[in-house]
Amino acid sequence: MAKEITNRTENYSQWYNDLVIKAGLADNSAVRGCMVIKPYGYAIWEKIQAALDKMFKDTGHSNAYFPLFIPKSFFSKEASHVEGFAKECAVVTHYRLKNDPNGKGIVVDEDAKLEEELIVRPTSETIIWNTYRGWIQSYRDLPLLINQWANVVRWEMRTRLFLRTTEFLWQEGHTAHATQEEALEETYKMVNVYADFAENFMAVPVIKGVKTANERFAGAIDTLCIEALMQDGKALQSGTSHFLGQNFAKAFDVKFTNKEGKPDYVWASSWGVSTRLMGALIMAHSDDNGLVLPPKLAPIQVVIVPIFHKEEQLTLISEKVLPLKKQLETRGISVQFDNRDNLKPGFKFAEHELKGIPVRIAIGPRDIESNTLEIARRDTLEKKTVSVDNIEDYIVTLLDDIQSNIFQKALKFREESTYKADTYEEFKQLLEKGGFIYAHWDGTPETETLIKDETKATIRCIPFDNPLEEGKCIRTGKPSTQRVLFARSY
RNA sequence: CGGGGUGUAGUACAGUUGGUAGUAUGCCUGGUUUGGGACCAGGAGGUCGUCGGUUCGAGUCCGGCCACCCCGACCA
């Protein structure tokens, strides 16, 4: 195992990359821009999936699965949607290969050209709404609350592990409603679910808000989002929930008969989070020693390291550890007993820190004698010797404490990195420090684009419950009624 | 896709004026070790990113391509 990861301050991107690879989360693959998610990384994703899936089901949604391929013609049915995705679509044109008649290798069989090309889904609104047409006739068929766990492909120019890969895993919810109010309510409900998940499971504080027209999803009336702040002062859009109006219903002719017996188009929402959340998780909490995982998403919450000289000592320790492991497991804690005999404790400590295991227990001859354990917490790196008595309660409390501590730490960082700018000069200076900046904006897409071109900062969102306040746009000096949230972003 | 950099053992790197590849670490075996990344001895492991060119001879020189990293444009 490689030992060193780059310091955060030295090179933040390199640190992130080192962390992902050395902690065994993911690797680059033989395919450009596509990653291999390794078992440890995938275990974290499975925890994320499990928690979210429960939240979706608790709010009345069901899972289904739609095809990977979408007929090309579907995309042109919703004008702004095709415009948004056209430049990043992978296209299937043939269905057969053959031996190269001119020599070595294999070539595409030109005789096997598809009548209509298939698009590898970049998102599934079109295929799903085309399907919904057949599912919805009456208001009694509504609401339709469907989620799918899937992979999607977006042919991005530049990729980074988890943060932006050509293929990524996500969930996408697609709901259909009889009224605008109901669809809007759903859109807000799901962004709140995302915020709840981010803060209570990932321990990442987020700001909920609505996107400006420039940043809106292709085909949406409104896009709601959660925005998180990373340790380098850049924002990361961590989840989006779109109010689609009747756009897709009209594009795919999905009508229903309402209570009054009159035909109407169906109202829609869609919402998604992706493996990008893994990036947020990694960047929000980790340090120069490696990952720091929130206990609620850590595949292994407690690791037990025996300290021993001879095999008999290990046997003795094991007799003590195995019941302890069971006790902890009955309290719902995942425990690993690291009894490898070819590695020294110090090596194991470093490795478990790299992997971000929240709690480490060391037990050696000294502890056996005094009926104690050495407990080390990953978030603060503090070590403490405690009595074995009531250890389960102690660990349960400690895990809760770590969960809330890393959230508080991230929240404190965000608060200390959130500023107000009243002039453009001040705004530009603050951007160099990184962080969230509240500033006045005249409300036009042109000014937003201008600011983006000049400073690389974008409006992350207009936060919900944003206080109204008279002011002047930092760029144009035109009147503004509220400050909006700016940042440089991933 | 543009600018810069890199590509040699699982990993990180060295390799001189072109002469047929080495160091560390990891791995395997044996022994001594084990409370913060152990040590000794022996051993295995490389079509030098790829394709082509120059040459008696290419890791080394030239060209194409590919991949990765950093900085932009694009984006969840």
Please state, in angstroms and rounded to a whole number, the distance separating the CA atoms of residues A181 and A343: 61
Whether residue A2 has pLDDT greater than 70: no
CATH number at residue A167: 3.30.930.10
Whether A341 and A427 map to the same domain: the answer is no
Q: How confident is the model at residue A454 (pLDDT cuts 50, 70, 90)?
A: confident
Give per-residue pLDDT as tens, A246-304. 999 999 999 999 999 999 999 999 999 999 999 999 999 999 899 999 999 999 999 99
- Residue A17 inside a domain? The answer is yes
Please state, in angstroms and rounded to a whole number, the distance separating the CA atoms of residues A252 and A262: 19
- Residue A106 inside a domain? The answer is no
Whether A310 and A277 map to the same domain: the answer is no
Whether A260 and A302 map to the same domain: the answer is no
Helix, coil or strand: residue A66: coil
Note the pLDDT of residue A157: 80
* ipTM attached to this prediction: 0.87
Show which of A285, A306, A323 is a domain's final residue: A285
Residue with tokens 């340790």: A231
Comparison of pLDDT for A33 and A472, the residue scoring more: A472
- Residue A81 inside a domain? The answer is no
The tally of domains found in chain A comes to 3
CB A483 within 8 A of CB A440: yes
Whether residue A3 has pLDDT greater than 60: no
- Residue A407 inside a domain? The answer is no
Whether A276 and A314 map to the same domain: the answer is no
Whether A203 and A348 map to the same domain: the answer is no
> The domain containing residue A456 runs over which residues?
418-487
The residue-averaged pLDDT of A209-217 equals: 93
Q: In the structure, how far is the CA atom of residue A2 from the C1' atom of nucleotide B45, in angstroms?
A: 18
Residues 305-364/A with CB within 7 Å of nucleic chain B are: 307-310, 341-347, 349-351, 353-354, 362-364
- Residue A411 inside a domain? The answer is no
A275 CB-to-strand B distance under 7 Å: yes
Residues 356-375/A with CB within 7 Å of nucleic chain B are: 362-368, 374
Residue with tokens 């053959």: A98
Q: In the structure, how far is the CA atom of residue A41 from the C1' atom of nucleotide B73, in angstroms?
A: 31
Longest dimension (CA), chain A: 82
Cα–chain center distance at A355: 19
Mention every residue, 6+ apart, whose C-beta is less than 8 A from residue A182. Answer: A143, A267
Whether A209 and A241 map to the same domain: the answer is yes
Q: In the structure, how far is the CA atom of residue A35 from the C1' atom of nucleotide B45, in angstroms?
A: 27
Residues 96-115/A with CB within 7 Å of nucleic chain B are: none
Whether A232 and A339 map to the same domain: the answer is no
Whether A424 and A393 map to the same domain: the answer is no
Whether residue A45 has pLDDT greater than 60: yes
Please state, in angstroms and rounded to a whole number, the distance separating the CA atoms of residues A64 and A60: 13
CATH number at residue A308: 3.40.50.800
Give per-residue pLDDT as tens, A297-341. 999 999 999 999 888 899 999 999 999 999 999 999 999 999 998
- DSSP single-letter state for residue A34: -
Q: Got the DSSP string for A241-277?
A: EEEEETHHHHHTT-EEE-TTS-EEEPEEEEEEEETHH
Nucleotides on chain B that have an atom closer than 7 A to a protein CB are 1-2, 10-12, 26-28, 33-38, 66-76
Helix, coil or strand: residue A95: coil
Determine what percent of chain A is predicted with pLDDT higher than 90: 76
Whether A65 and A214 map to the same domain: the answer is yes
- Residue A359 inside a domain? The answer is yes
- Residue A29 inside a domain? The answer is yes
Name the nearest CA neighbour of A237 among A225, A222, A221. A225
A72 φ, ψ to 5°?
Answer: -55, -40
A119 CB-to-strand B distance under 7 Å: no
CB A230 within 8 A of CB A212: no
Whose C1' is closest to the CA of A152: which nucleotide?
A: B76
Burial class, A202, CB count within 10 angstroms (exposed 0-12 / middle 13-18 / buried 19+): buried
The residue-averaged pLDDT of A155-173 equals: 90
- Residue A105 inside a domain? The answer is no
Q: In the structure, how far is the CA atom of residue A2 from the C1' atom of nucleotide B8, in angstroms?
A: 19
Cα–chain center distance at A421: 29
Give per-residue pLDDT as tens, A51-71. 999 999 999 999 999 999 999
